[in-house]
């Protein structure tokens, strides 16, 4: 934990939607009793256009004998109406989506009216194909507007979407189709990222050759690159011909608040991905409400979240949160390094982006390339920055703040999970001085607790496991097909709480710092060390770019520390450098943080969403080189063998 804190500028505070006093008051009020929490969520539900207003706000019991999570259970609504139709009355020509293509010469601006028309067309077409309320539809898409159109068209007709990241293999896609038993797959001929073609349709064909995929009746194919692809006469249909003759009006399905909305598989950082199920009324209320709170949203914001639509962030904060609020959302097809590492900055200038939301892994990879690229743009339109996905190391935080944000823009470090549906911890901008690396404060209605291994909720400054002692509307309802695993994973270890699986520290000011996964927390001679803390210390050394730290068996201390390190360009691994790094970390954290092994590697094993898979490194550090578990979500599996070679050579 660094001692530094960054006050918010007076200019930002003057324009912010909330003040420090207001946040404190509203937060206290929202959690002072279960009734008060319900009253808060009843108020927030007023921001939704209901077809039938809910009279029951929550019906929750974490007791395993009588378990239930229901929000607004007698309410009825349609999410596409909330994201589209209602804005047509007020601002039909406002850009809903600004799409930036892979190549900088290509962009498209789609108004709410146009998006509504397209969603209705596809909704009508899918109805004609026999898609009914409750049917599952798999989307395997590049980052093009049709991805959002597909999701919203599902909500229009009550179908449950399952978006599978376009970077996943045919096999990963096939397994998710088998699990969801989808009736339709929506895809594109090819994806295009950094001028590289991704054979989406070919992958779909291969996935559908797998046993257990017979549920799929039609494959809808968006024409993106135009390269020739096989189309099978009876099963495959082009998106543009399918919707060509369809009406621009489509009767929205009346959905009960607790009807399923989507299913989405987690990143798989800790094991086999879980099919997380979210429902309708609670999810959209939470998405709408947290989006405007955390990003301090104004009418004229141009908001850009870089997350792929295949992750939960691409659902809640690229699609549903912004569109429900009538906010313009930017969708980027490409990658930060194409044509050069200056691209992100150029996009910000081109579309006058005001809020940028991205991940530490993206920030670190840009930082590695130096400041020159970023400085090609002036980025004066930016007023707020956000980060999500992993703990952000203070060095990357500083760079994001100083270089990308020009020292002007607050950073909201947002902690949440696929399971939580939306952000639970973040500094609401304008209400608190920022501490690099801390997710700071709970959002309204959320009661976080720090709990130790013998189930005691700790008071004051403390360190332990992060649990949430109440429910919130955006909470997941089950793991698809596996309610037992749901109860087992989240509600069994700490009875009466939602268990997040993350470690946390609460400091003297009551602010929260995520220390990493509980499974990854290092217990060295009885002292708990968060992976985030040790990695941040390694990252802060000028010779390193990124590090992953795991525990390894140690004769004396029980657990020793193994660090896997990527060196900065031009640095060479040497015993001297390793000794110097170890000295540096011991000075930063204390002698307890001794790096017992330092492995210099070319790349770290990461999920496709950029998270380090420490469980693999833990096995390797312990000398286990085979049987490394589910590797299907790994971005590049060839890094594993290279790491094993390094470790073997050092032993
Ligand atoms: P799986 O559950 O399958 O192992 P996953 O946990 O990586 O996958 P996600 O739901 O995408 O799947 O990620 C949520 C996790 O990401 C959180 O539990 C937390 O560990 C980490 N995380 C997200 N945001 C932050 C943040 N701002 N600070 C620290 N950690 C974060
Ligand atoms: Mg998780």
So what's the ipTM on this one?
0.99
In angstroms, what is the span from residue 368 Cα to ligand 2's centroid?
27
Q: What is the mean pLDDT of the chain?
A: 96
Is residue 2 very low, low, confident or very high in pLDDT (cuts 50, 70, 90)? low
Count CA within 13 A, CB hemisphere, residue 552: 24
Q: Is 408 annotated as a binding residue?
A: no
Q: Of the candidates 352, 135, 174, 370, which has an alpha carbon nearest to the alpha carbon of residue 263?
A: 135
- What atom of ligand 1 comes closest to residue 611's alpha carbon? 7
Using the predicted structure, report yes or no on whether residue 360 has a pLDDT greater than 60. yes
Is residue 401 very low, low, confident or very high in pLDDT (cuts 50, 70, 90)? very high
pLDDT mean over 597-626: 94
In angstroms, what is the span from residue 69 Cα to ligand 2's centroid?
19
Is residue 520 very low, low, confident or very high in pLDDT (cuts 50, 70, 90)? confident
- CA distance linking residue 539 with residue 533, whole number of Å: 10
Ligand 1 mutation target, pool 513, 611, 614, most atoms within 8 A of CB:
611
Considering the entire predicted model, what is its pTM?
0.95
- What atom of ligand 1 comes closest to residue 607's alpha carbon? 7
What confidence score (pLDDT) does residue 569 get?
Answer: 86
In angstroms, what is the span from residue 419 Cα to ligand 1's centroid?
9
In angstroms, what is the span from residue 489 Cα to ligand 2's centroid?
10
Helix axes 200-208, 170-180, angle to 10 degrees: 50
What confidence score (pLDDT) does residue 37 get?
Answer: 98
What confidence score (pLDDT) does residue 1 get?
Answer: 58
Place of tokens 């590289």: 196
Residue whose CA lies nearest to ligand 1 atom number 23: 389
Residue whose CA lies nearest to ligand 1 atom number 3: 268
pLDDT mean over 475-496: 96
Q: Which of 22-36, 298-312, 503-517, 626-640 has the lowest mean pLDDT?
A: 626-640
- CA distance linking residue 90 with residue 87, whole number of Å: 5
Q: Of the candidates 354, 359, 283, which has an alpha carbon nearest to the alpha carbon of residue 321?
A: 283
Position with higher pLDDT, 184 vs 522: 184
pLDDT mean over 548-558: 89
Cβ contact 336:343 at 8 Å:
yes
Q: Is 313 annotated as a binding residue?
A: yes
Q: Of the candidates 333, 328, 350, which has an alpha carbon nearest to the alpha carbon of residue 112?
A: 328
What confidence score (pLDDT) does residue 29 get?
Answer: 97
pLDDT mean over 302-315: 97
pLDDT mean over 2-24: 92
Q: What is the pLDDT of residues 75-132, one digit of tens each?
A: 999 999 999 999 999 999 999 999 999 999 999 999 999 999 999 999 999 999 999 9
- What atom of ligand 1 comes closest to residue 532's alpha carbon? 29
Helix %, strand %, coil % of the chain (to 5):
35, 25, 40
What confidence score (pLDDT) does residue 454 get?
Answer: 79
Please report which ligand is nearest the Cα atom of 273. Answer: 1
pLDDT mean over 585-610: 93
In angstroms, what is the span from residue 270 Cα to ligand 2's centroid?
7
What confidence score (pLDDT) does residue 556 get?
Answer: 82
Please tell me whether residue 76 adopts helix, strand or coil conformation.
Answer: strand
Residue whose CA lies nearest to ligand 1 atom number 11: 267
End-to-end CA distance of the chain: 33
Place of tokens 């594109």: 188
Q: Is 416 annotated as a binding residue?
A: yes
Is residue 4 very low, low, confident or very high in pLDDT (cuts 50, 70, 90)? confident
In angstroms, what is the span from residue 266 Cα to ligand 2's centroid?
6
Residue whose CA lies nearest to ligand 1 atom number 12: 267
Q: Is 136 annotated as a binding residue?
A: no
Please report which ligand is nearest the Cα atom of 314. Answer: 1
Q: What is the pLDDT of residues 163-178, one digit of tens each?
A: 999 999 999 999 999 9
Angle at 226 between CA 224 and CA 227, to 5 degrees: 120
Q: Of the candidates 264, 329, 418, 332, which has an alpha carbon nearest to the alpha carbon of residue 84?
A: 329
Q: Which of 107-116, 265-274, 573-582, 602-611 has the lowest mean pLDDT?
A: 265-274
Is residue 632 very low, low, confident or very high in pLDDT (cuts 50, 70, 90)? confident
- CA distance linking residue 246 with residue 129, whole number of Å: 13
In angstroms, what is the span from residue 517 Cα to ligand 2's centroid?
9
What confidence score (pLDDT) does residue 443 get?
Answer: 98
Residues with CB under 6 A from ligand 1: 266-271, 273-274, 312, 388-391, 413-418, 439, 500-502, 514, 517, 609, 611
Helix axes 112-128, 145-157, angle to 10 degrees: 60
What confidence score (pLDDT) does residue 651 get?
Answer: 82
């Amino acid at each position: 934990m660094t001692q530094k804190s960054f006050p918010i500028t007076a200019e930002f505070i003057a324009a912010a939607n909330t003040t420090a006093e207001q946040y404190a008051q509203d937060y206290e009020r929202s959690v002072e009793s279960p009734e008060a929490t319900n009253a808060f969520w009843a108020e927030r539900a007023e921001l939704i256009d209901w077809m039938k207003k809910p009279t029951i706000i929550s019906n929750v019991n974490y007791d395993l004998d009588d378990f239930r999570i229901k929000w607004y259970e007698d309410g009825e609504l349609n999410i596409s109406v909330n994201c589209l139709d209602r804005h047509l009355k007020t601002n039909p020509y406002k850009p809903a989506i600004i799409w930036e293509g892979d190549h900088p010469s290509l962009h498209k601006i789609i108004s709410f009216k146009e998006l509504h028309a397209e969603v209705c067309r596809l909704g009508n077409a899918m109805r004609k194909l026999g898609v009914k309320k409750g049917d599952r539809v798999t989307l395997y898409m590049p980052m093009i507007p049709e991805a959002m159109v597909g999701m919203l068209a599902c909500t229009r007709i009550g179908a449950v979407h399952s978006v599978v990241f376009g970077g996943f293999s045919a096999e990963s896609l096939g397994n998710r189709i088998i699990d969801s038993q989808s009736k339709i797959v929506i895809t594109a001929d090819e994806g295009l990222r950094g001028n590289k073609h991704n054979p989406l349709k070919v992958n779909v064909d291969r996935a559908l050759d797998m046993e257990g995929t017979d549920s799929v009746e039609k494959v809808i194919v968006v024409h993106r690159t135009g390269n020739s692809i096989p189309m099978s006469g009876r099963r495959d249909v082009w998106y543009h011909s399918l919707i060509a003759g369809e009406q621009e009006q489509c009767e929205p399905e009346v959905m009960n608040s607790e009807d399923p909305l989507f299913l989405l598989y987690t990143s798989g950082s800790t094991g086999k991905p879980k099919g997380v199920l979210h429902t309708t009324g609670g999810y959209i209320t939470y998405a709408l409400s947290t989006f405007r709170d955390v990003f301090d949203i104004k009418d004229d914001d141009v908001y850009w979240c870089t997350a792929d639509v295949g992750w939960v962030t691409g659902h809640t904060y690229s699609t549903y949160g912004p569109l429900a609020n009538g906010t313009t959302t930017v969708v980027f097809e490409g990658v930060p390094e194409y044509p050069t590492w200056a691209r992100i900055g150029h996009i910000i200038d081109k579309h006058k982006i005001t809020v940028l939301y991205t991940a530490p892994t993206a920030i670190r990879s840009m930082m590695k390339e130096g400041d020159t690229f970023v400085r090609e743009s002036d980025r004066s339109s930016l007023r707020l920055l956000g980060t999500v996905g992993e703990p952000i190391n203070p060095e990357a935080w500083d760079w994001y703040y100083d270089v990308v944000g020009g020292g002007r823009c607050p950073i909201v470090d947002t902690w949440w999970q696929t399971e939580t549906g939306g952000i639970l911890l973040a500094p609401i901008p304008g209400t608190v001085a920022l501490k690099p690396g801390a997710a700071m404060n709970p959002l309204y209605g959320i009661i976080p607790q720090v709990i130790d291994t013998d189930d005691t909720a700790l008071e004051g400054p403390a360190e332990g496991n992060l649990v949430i002692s109440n429910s919130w509307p955006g909470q997941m309802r089950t793991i698809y097909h596996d309610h037992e695993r749901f109860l087992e994973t989240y509600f069994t270890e700490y009875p009466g709480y939602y268990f997040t699986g993350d470690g946390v520290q609460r400091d003297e000011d009551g602010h929260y710092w995520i220390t990493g996964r509980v499974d990854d927390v290092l217990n060295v001679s009885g002292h708990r060390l968060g992976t985030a803390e040790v990695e941040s210390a390694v990252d802060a050394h000028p010779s390193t770019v990124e590090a992953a730290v795991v525990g390894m068996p140690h004769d004396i201390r029980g657990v020793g520390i193994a660090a896997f390190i990527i060196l900065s360009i031009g640095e060479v691994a040497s015993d001297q450098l390793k000794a110097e790094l170890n000295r540096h970390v011991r000075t930063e954290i204390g002698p307890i943080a001794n790096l017992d092994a330092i492995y210099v590697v070319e790349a770290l094993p990461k999920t496709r969403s950029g998270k380090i898979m420490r469980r693999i490194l833990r096995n390797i550090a312990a000398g286990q080189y085979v049987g490394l578990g589910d590797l299907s979500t790994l971005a590049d599996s060839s890094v594993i063998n290279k790491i094993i070679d390094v470790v073997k050579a050092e032993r």
